[in-house]
């Protein structure tokens, strides 16, 4: 199983290298305060990484809030049971 994951990882790395090499044209970006030019492959890589990081942060925050809410409601039920007894 681990060998299969390594093979897939190497295939995606190779595909990324080929994609970057075939899309070497520069793309200008105007950020308002600065202007920069990146190759298309590099711009795509940056966009994917930013999306991956933001998605990970969103998933982490969602699970931590859900866990906190579950723990709080469980604590409220215990308090209600203690006062009822």
Q: What's the pLDDT at 58? A: 93
pLDDT of 56: 92
Sequential pLDDT tens for the chain (85 residues): 799 989 998 998 888 888 878 888 898 988 899 998 988 888 888 888 999 999 999 999 888 877 777 677 666 666 556 665 5
Supply the pTM of this predicted model. Answer: 0.56
CB-neighbour burial class of residue 16 (10 A; exposed 0-12, middle 13-18, buried 19+): middle
User: Domain boundaries in the chain?
Assistant: 2-84
pLDDT score recorded for residue 77: 62
pLDDT at 76: 63
DSSP per residue, 3-65: HHHHHHHHHHHHHHHHHHHHT--EEEEE-SS-EEEEEHHHHHHHHHHHHHHHHHHHHHHHHHH
Sign of CA dihedral 55, 56, 59, 65: negative
């Amino acid at each position: 199983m681990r060998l299969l994951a390594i093979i897939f990882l190497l295939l995606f790395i190779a595909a990324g290298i080929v994609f970057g090499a075939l899309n070497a044209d520069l793309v200008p970006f105007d950020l308002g305060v600065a202007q920069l030019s990146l190759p298309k492959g590099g711009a795509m890589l940056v966009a994917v990484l930013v999306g991956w990081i933001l998605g990970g942060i969103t998933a982490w925050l969602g699970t931590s809030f859900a866990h906190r809410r579950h723990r709080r409601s469980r604590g409220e039920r215990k308090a209600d049971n203690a006062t009822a007894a």
